[in-house]
Amino acid sequence: MKFTIMINEGPYQHQSSDSALQFARAVLAQGHEIFRVFFYHDGVYNGTRLSVPPADDRQLQKEWSELAIEHNLDLVLCIAAAQRRGIMDADEAKRQGLDADNIIEGFRISGLGQLIEGGIQSDRTIVFGD
């Protein structure tokens, strides 16, 4: 079965990213397919590579990144939400005339249409948020 997962909250503030990560791992472990993970609202903060949590805490951004690389997942940060919150890839930073980018490997930035397409193409769409 094909899944799209939407995540509406950033890491640490809410449990939703933790829950979604565990859910995504379980989906893959059972042999299902993840068509896309779409990060919206503050969820785009899951895509920064500049997070430095204390050594004894989990680093959610890195865990998502590693899961994406291992399973070739499509992790999409909403461009409108990301622009509002200062999450940039190199192209977007350049286009906006900014001096830095901060997206972590395994994520890409794209439009809201990616969420709707996920809903259309997937058998199940699961939302994690506040």
The residues carrying an active-site annotation are: 78
Report in angstroms how near the CB of residue 67 gets to another protein at its nearest. Answer: 14
Q: Count the site residues for another protein by CB under 8 A.
A: 34
Contact call for residue 29 and another protein (CB under 8 A) = yes
- Work out whether 23 is an interface residue with another protein (CB under 8 A): yes
Question: If you search the block for the tokens 């972590």, which residue do you land on?
Answer: 104
User: How many helices and strands, by DSSP H and E, does the chain display?
Assistant: 5, 5
Contact between 83 and another protein per CB under 8 A: no
The token pair at 80 is 């409108």
Sign of CA pseudo-dihedral 37, 94, 61, 85: negative
C-alpha dihedral over 8, 10, 12, 17, to 10 degrees?
Answer: 50
**Interface with another protein, residue 96, by CB under 8 A:** no
Q: Which of 64, 12, 8 is nearest to 39 (CA)?
A: 8
Choose one: 17-25, 50-58, 87-95, 96-104; the region binding another protein (CB under 8 A).
Answer: 17-25
Where does this chain bind another protein (CB under 8 A)?
Answer: 1, 3, 6, 8, 15-16, 19, 22-23, 25-27, 29-30, 32, 40-41, 80-81, 111-113, 115-117, 119-120, 124-130
